[in-house]
Each structure stands twice: as structure tokens, then as C-alpha cells.
Amino acid sequence: MPESNILMSNQTGEKARAVLISLKTQEITEEFSEISLDELEKLLETAGGETVLRVIQSREYPDPATYIGKGKAAEIADFIKNDGTVNLAVVDNELTPSQIKNLEDALDVRVIDRTMLILDIFALHATTGEGKLQVEIACLKYTAPRIVGHGKEMSRLGGGIGTRGPGESQLETDRRHIKRRIASLNQRLLELERTRSVKRGVREKNKIKTVAIAGYTNAGKSTLLNYLTGAGVLTEDKLFATLDPTTRKLSLPDGEDILLTDTVGFIDRLPTHLVKAFKSTLEEIKYADIIVCLVDSSEPDSERTRKRKVTEQLINELSGGGIEVIWCYNKADKAIETHLIPSEGILISASTGEGVDGLLNKIKAVLAGNKKLITFFFPHSRVSEVNTLYRNAVVKHTEYTSDGVVVTAECERDIANRYLAFVQK
């Protein structure tokens, strides 16, 4: 992965130097504004930019025209003018197209919002055709109406941040063209989705269980996949290092083979356009048999709790809530406030391997717990069903009687339900 794409999209070669702007409204606590700005700073760093100033304004509600108050905007504009090096302002929320335009006029630098910054990082980090397609769709849908007519002047390039993805010149083309482009991208994505579902079908047919590693960005998901399977996925102390999930085979301690899959990291207020665009990638979570959710235990408990909440909510949205989740506290080698880690959590280190055996045993136990030994009776008129049961379950015993066939088999819950009518009382 390139260190930064900024130089490619900005002919002047300047680095983004930004003012971060946040609003503390009635619903938001001071502490949350700070934490959220910390995260925004980390996002900017990941995109290759640097923070020059952080501004938090207390206001009852956002100004419909400029988001922050006009007086505050004038103050920031003064600072930018005097500083002379600032070339970007990043607002820690989603802005309307007119708010972006008005703020750009007030500050005389390029203005992007939190969502555009995240989209930018996704554009920078997507490597496969599918990842790039998904990012381009999200960028076109969100960014296009927000930058049309802006960002032409060099002084407003803002180190290239917020202009990646499909590229500025494309984004400036007319809306009809953009609509056509989205339609054609969606068509291509649909084909890739079909490929994914065919692959899933093969896995199901071969009864291979899938375990998805999910969690907040930077929790160590790829590091765990690498530790267990030697997948060689890029791991970095940056946000959203992985956008194109890798799947690898893993042999559990009892010899059973499963598939382990890495997933795209979560973040608070993950832009809905990205969730929609990354639907097919994120569906790996929906079809998993178990979700291993990683939480970074090297952070204070307040951060762990916040990130776990965000993760839980997204997991529920994506999976529909029916899949067993194993909560796993990673970075045990650097863990703090361990007494506050919930008792159901497994403490591991994906770097050193500490505790990973416990996780594998837990996976094994959950998979085994999903299976039950059940005895069925099939009357002669329905013996054709016996063949399908043989394909879908591990048959332990078969007995032919004068009335039909008695079969004892180890079944998954969903298979057992399919043959409910034949379960022997």
C-alpha cells in the first residue's frame, strides 16, 4: 500500500495541514467531543495529514448555514490567515453541501467532513477490484454533490484529502454522467456479489464452518488472522488498514477444518453510504457461523466500552442478531484495567499468541454445541428423505424396520429443524 496518495492527486505536493472543528451541542458531553476529535485526528493522520489546531464550539444547535457560528468561523479564518500553512478544515460531523460551500467561503480553505475523510481513507486503502468499486460508489453518492464547483483552486486542494477515490475531475462532471456511472458500477458489483454467494454456496454444501473476525478498526483482526493462518495480511497501527477481507483455512485442535475470515473494521458513525456500498463484503459477517469480536484491551475501560457498544450495534444490524458472538479482548501483552474486562471475555494477544488456544477451544465448543444427536423415523413412503439427510448430517446409525427407516444422526440446529416432522418422539 502506498504511504499516501496525496502527492498523486495534488500537483503542488503539499501535505494536508488542517484545523479540526467540532461542535459540542446539548446532547453531547465535553468528554465525547474530545474523544471524537482524537479519533478524527487519527483518521487525518491515516490519510497523511497533520493537525494544526483543534476547535470545539459550544452551541445549542448547529448553524444551518455554516454549521459552527459565523463569529467562530471568522475567528478560525483569522487564525488560518495568520498561520499561512493551513490548507484544510475537517468538520467532525456530516455537513450538507451548502454548509460545506459556505464554510469554504468563510475560511478560504478546502472544507471536508468526517464522512469524506473516512471515504478518502477507504479510497486510499482499497486494493481489490471489489474494494475499489465499493469505495467509488460510496464516494460518488456522498461526495459528488458536495464538491461540484469547488476545489478547483490550488489553495483549496487541502493536500488532496477528500479528493481521492474517483478523482476530482470525474466528480465534477455532470450529474447525469454520475448517475450512469453509479448504475454501471452497481452492475459490476452485482456480478461480484454473485461470485461471493456462489463461493458461500460451495462452503455450505461442503459443510465448512466460517468464523468471522470482527471489531473496531485497529483492534488487531488481521494480526489474529495472520497468527492463526499465516495469511500475511497487512497489519498497521492505522485505521482501516483492511478493506478487502481475506479468508483462510484453519484446522481446529480436534482436526476439524474451518474458514477464518478477516473483515472491514468498524468505527463510530460508520458512514451509511459505506455500509451500503460494502454490503457484499460485510455480508461475510451475516453468513458466519460464529463471530469473534475483538476489543483492544490496551485502551482504558471507557474506550473499550464505547467501542464495544459501537461494535455490538453494527454486528446486530449486519447479522440480524442470530449468530453466536465470542468477545475477545486482544493485546493482552499491553492490557490495562484488566479487572474491568467482562468475565465472558477471552483475553488474548494476537502478537504473542497468549490465550489463543483458549479462543480456539471456545470456537470448537460453540461449533460442537450447535450439533445434536437426533433419532428420526422415516416411513417407507418418505425414504427418499433419508438420502438428503445423509448428505446434510453425520449419520451414526441406521435401522430398517417393517414400517420404515430409523436413523440416528448428528445434526446442526437448522438441519434438525428441516426434518422436524420425522424426529422420533
Point out which residues bind ligand GTP (CB under 6 A).
215, 217-223, 235-237, 239-242, 265, 330-331, 333-334, 349-351
For Mg ion, the binding residues in 75-94 under the rule CB under 5 A are: none
Distance CA 294, CA 347 (A): 10
Pick from 239, 252, 282: nearest CA to 1: 239
Give the strand pairing for 404-412 and 394-400.
antiparallel
User: Up-side HSE of residue 108: CA atoms within 13 Å toward CB?
Assistant: 12
Residue nearest to ligand GTP (CB): 265
Nearer of residues 179 and 334 to ligand GTP, judged by Cβ = 334
| Alpha-carbon span 143 to 33, nearest angstrom | 24
72-80 contacts, C-beta under 8 A, 24 or more apart: 73/103, 73/106, 73/107, 74/106, 76/19, 76/21, 76/107, 77/106, 77/107, 77/108, 79/19, 79/53, 80/19, 80/107, 80/108, 80/109
Nearer to ligand GTP (CB atom), residue 115 or residue 330? 330
State the nearest-atom distance from the C-beta of 354 to Mg ion, in Å: 20
The entry of Mg ion, ligand GTP, none that residue 309 binds, CB within 5 to 8 Å by partner kind = none
Q: Find the binding residues for Mg ion in span 300-339 (CB under 5 A).
A: none
Task: Enumerate residues 6+ apart whose C-beta is below 8 A from 357.
Answer: 253
Helix ranges restricted to H, 126-241: 129-147, 168-171, 175-205, 221-229
Q: Which is nearer to ligand GTP, 21 or 241 (CB)?
A: 241
Residues numbered 236-265 forming contacts with Mg ion, rule: CB under 5 A: 241-242
Query: Which residue, 147 or 270, is less far from ligand GTP as judged by CB?
Result: 270
Query: In the complex with ligand GTP, which residue's Cβ is closer, 209 or 331?
Result: 331
Q: How far is the CB of 421 from ligand GTP (least distance, A)?
A: 45
Closest distance to ligand GTP from the beta carbon of 215 (Å): 6
Query: From the list Mg ion, ligand GTP, none, which binds 349 (C-beta under 5 to 8 Å, kind-based)?
Result: ligand GTP
The entry of ligand GTP, Mg ion, none that residue 375 binds, CB within 5 to 8 Å by partner kind: none
Q: Which entry of ligand GTP, Mg ion, none binds 333, CB below 5 to 8 A by partner kind?
A: ligand GTP
Q: Is 131 exposed, middle or buried (0-12, 13-18, 19+ CB in 10 A)?
A: buried
Name residue 251's amino acid.
S
Select from Mg ion, ligand GTP, none the partner in contact with residue 236, using the beta carbon and a kind-dependent cut-off of 5 to 8 Å.
ligand GTP
- Residue 374 parent element (H or E): strand 371-379
Choose among ligand GTP, Mg ion, none what residue 319 binds, the Cβ cut-off being 5 to 8 Å by kind: none
Choice from 51, 66, 210, 222 touching Mg ion (CB under 5 A): 222
Q: Quick one: cell of 214?
A: 470482527
* Comparison of 34 and 236: residue with beta carbon closer to ligand GTP: 236
Give the interface with Mg ion as residue ranges (CB under 5 A). 221-222, 241-242
